[in-house]
Amino acid sequence: MSALPDTLCDLNGELLPLSQAKVSVLDRGFIFGDGLYEAIPVYGRRLFRFDDHMARLARNLDKLRIAPPPGLRSPADWLERVRRVIAAQPAEDQMLYIQITRGVAMRDHAMPTDIAPTVFIMSNPYKPVPAEARHQGVACVSARDFRWERGDIKATSLLGNVLARQIAVDQGAAETILFREGAHGGPWLTEGSSSNVWVVHEGALLGPPMNEHVLEGIRVALLRELCEEEGIAYNLRPISEADVRAADELLLSSSGREVLAVTKLDGDLVGHGALRGKPGPVYGRLYEAYQRAKREQSI
């Protein structure tokens, strides 16, 4: 195994080399995956959609019944803390990672109420989507959504997502698009293993409704705003597997991929006519609008 870098990270308020950061084996994040995280893009050392990430972090702390960590009660507190980590990373473009676990306690499934959360912050160089993938789009595969029933929580217990992503890796694909049976038939689109999934139909951008099976990615609200700016119709509604396979365009969105065209699904080319198997016009407009938003909405 390669040695861990000496880049500085923050562990419970202390700046120290990543290679020296240690947590207890009884931390509930290690024992149970009892925690949550955020990954925030940093462009030119400026955080993108920081307030949205902090709002989601607060919502998820509440869902897991973890009290806000001492000294980190407000976005301003977080901003001061994370900027120290960003400044310690040589790269201009970064991916900031924040993880909060319930803390250290003797192993017991019940939630202890008298322990302090463990807070870990690191930042790594941002890995942009390769130019070839931007130009040609990416291939995806599909699978049944076998994960737990609280996909709306950005929890650290990601084994289901890891298994789903490996399905794509084993087939040389970029992402696994997941479908779930519902009360009214299906299969219905939920999301990717680490991304939100979008369908373009007759020029409109469509996504599945936000519910317990779908993480409300920060780009959900962002794409709604970009669609309004670009005059693109936008709607969240149930999307069947048949809708996905008949789409004019398919898109992925995530903090790392930004917005990315899917041009092949399960070996079949996406789209119709001359644009079949190629990134489409809605993707092109949203990608350019996304780059503009990065310049205007980073702090």
Whether residue 294 lies in the annotated active site: no
Catalytic site residue from 22, 154, 264, 294: 154
Q: SS3 string of the chain?
A: CCCCCCCEEEECCEEEEHHHCCCCCCEHHHHHCCEEEEEEEEECCEEECHHHHHHHHHHHHHHHCCCCCCCCCCHHHHHHHHHHHHHHCCCCCEEEEEEEECCECCCCCCCCCCCCCEEEEEEEECCCCCHHHHHHCEEEEEEECCCCCCCCCCECCCHHHHHHHHHHHHCCCCEEEEEEEECCEEEEEEEECCCEEEEEECCEEEECCCCCCCCCCHHHHHHHHHHHHHCCCEEECCCEHHHHHCCCEEEEEECCCEEEEEEEECCEECCCHHHCCCCCHHHHHHHHHHHHHHHHCEC
Query: Active-site positions?
Result: 154
